[in-house]
Amino acid sequence: MGSKMPTALVILAAGKGTRMNSDLPKVLHTLAGAPLLAHAMRADTDAEKVVIVAGHGAEQVAKSAHLYNPDAEIVLQTEQLGTGHAVGVARDTLAGFEGDVVVLYGDTPFISPETLREMQSARGRGHDVVVLGFEAQDPGRYGRLIEGTDDRLAAIVEAKEATEEQLAVTLCNSGVVCADAAQLFDLVGEIENNNAAEEYYLTDIVEIANAAGLSCTAVTCPEAETLGINSRAQLAEAEAAFQARARVAAMENGATLTAPDTVFFAFDTVIGRDVLIGPNVVFGPETTIESGVEIRAFCHLEGCHISEGAIIGPFARLRPGAEIGEDARIGNFVEVKNARLSIGAKVNHLSYIGDADIGQAANIGAGTITCNYDGVMKHKTVIGARAFIGSNTSIIAPVTIGEDAMTASGTVVTKDVPDEALAISRTPMVNKPGLATRIKNNLRAIKARKDKG
């Protein structure tokens, strides 16, 4: 095939999803940290236009779609009159579009870019309508793709209307269709609703196209790609399938997972080579791990970037905006949010680092807190290169601690600390001889009176 034709995606996302038993539109239930709809949108990230056909919860659907593609256009299907009708409501939005339209489903998250390229390749070979099929282990209720001669698709037959011979066919219909935009909408315009449900079925375009002398064909993909989500149980199955593939992909790309079944990836997790991932690690969205990183057990990482050679955990939490530099160390029970740690910086245990810039080779002692929030606004802490922050230091932002500076343990930092200075902020300790015994005796007497009363 020559140069790739422009492509538009029409993603059907109007259904309520009654079997989900939820107030949330079905396509917004999450899989690997992203809505089902976002997965469908990722099937062709190079599409020139993306049209979402929304209905139930349209405002929520639109808001979610725009998070992943601000240019996505939302059209409303006010009545649920079938898949053909749903495609038809996108006609005006795509008026004048010259290229192919691929019809996808917001609850079918696994259709791959490679499959869409194969469908467009079939279009390039001269077929007018390309339908995506799959060989089903249990064809059951699926519509059957009835093939003709010369690579042609003769018909799509619904299971309830199929003959015994047709029911023996295992090549089934996924519902995904690719056709020239103008031709697709012409065909959709001819669909009738003379069926028991009085709905307009997109599958009817194959019969209409064949009757008009157009060429229809089917390409196939693995059945797993066509998995549709209609219930919580199917959502769990899809999550398990996604994670299984993501784990294998990570290991094939050079990462070591010591307990693969306990590691969970997001839909967009990026893992470099020679990364060691311990058990019970969870990756949230927008996380990138460079090569040579070690992620120890029981870490939760989201919206962060970890540079080569860093060691994270165990029991660490990296939140959005965490930038961990080369060879940095984040230890147990450390939380980092919207903060940058430079090369070799260390926060080894029991600390919160938020809205901060930590210099090269700085060492943050146990129990350190950057007090970044005043109840209304966030404020930044800057800690210079090679600074040493003593244990149990509270840093009241906005404040800067200079290079090679130190804070004494237990210090509350309320103003800038110059380079090479030591900051100490403590109430002088006073010993009161015998006072501990008198206090204990007094408390015991009070307790004894309460027990008698």
What string of H, E and C letters represents the secondary structure of 73-141? EEEECCCCCCHHHHHHCCCCCCCCCCCEEEEEECCCCCCCHHHHHHHHHHHHCCCCEEEEEEECCCCCC
Q: Residue 133 contacts by C-beta under 8 Å, 6 or more apart in sequence?
A: 145, 171, 172, 173, 174, 218, 219, 220, 221
pLDDT value at residue 445? 95
pLDDT value at residue 222? 96
Residue 207 and residue 120 in contact, taking contact as beta carbons nearer than 8 Å? no
Token output for 157: 């037959």
Q: What is the DSSP letter of 428?
A: P
pLDDT value at residue 4? 66
d(CA 353, CA 329): 13
d(CA 77, CA 187): 19
User: Is 349 assigned a catalytic role?
Assistant: yes
Token output for 9: 């995606």
Instruction: From first to last of the 453 residues of the chain, give the pLDDT tens digit.
Output: 445 678 999 999 998 889 999 999 999 999 999 999 999 999 999 999 999 999 999 999 999 999 999 999 999 999 889 999 999 999 999 999 999 999 999 999 999 999 999 999 999 999 999 999 999 999 988 999 999 988 899 999 988 888 999 999 999 999 999 999 999 999 999 999 988 778 999 999 999 999 999 999 999 999 999 999 999 999 999 999 999 999 999 999 999 999 999 999 999 999 999 999 999 999 999 999 999 999 999 999 999 999 999 999 999 999 999 999 999 999 999 999 999 999 999 999 999 999 999 999 999 999 999 999 999 999 999 999 999 999 999 999 999 999 999 999 999 999 999 999 999 998 888 999 999 999 999 999 999 999 987
Q: Residue 361 contacts by C-beta under 8 Å, 6 or more apart in sequence?
A: 342, 343, 344, 345, 385, 386
d(CA 275, CA 273): 5
Catalytic residue among 29, 56, 127, 349: 349
d(CA 368, CA 410): 9
Residue written as tokens 């309520």? 16
Please name the fold of domain 7-226: Spore Coat Polysaccharide Biosynthesis Protein SpsA; Chain A (3.90.550)
Helix (H) or strand (E) holding 446: helix 435-452
Of 411, 408, 360, 409, residue with least CA distance to 382: 360
CATH topology identical between 7-226 and 232-423: no
d(CA 318, CA 325): 13
Query: 297 — alpha (psi -120 to 50), left (phi > 0) or beta?
Result: beta
DSSP 394-406: EEESSEEE-TT-E
d(CA 162, CA 210): 19
**Domain residue extents for the chain:** 7-226, 232-423
Residue 53 and residue 10 in contact, taking contact as beta carbons nearer than 8 Å? yes
Q: CB neighbours (10 Å) of residue 433?
A: 6
The pTM of the full predicted model, rounded to 2 decimals, is 0.89
Q: b/e for 41-76, b at 16 or more Cβ within 10 A?
A: bbbbeebebbbbbbbbbbebbbebbeebbeebbbbe
| Domain covering 232-423: architecture | 3 Solenoid (2.160)
Q: Is the sign of the CA dihedral 129, 132, 137, 140 positive or negative?
A: negative
CA atoms within 13 A on the CB side of 266: 20
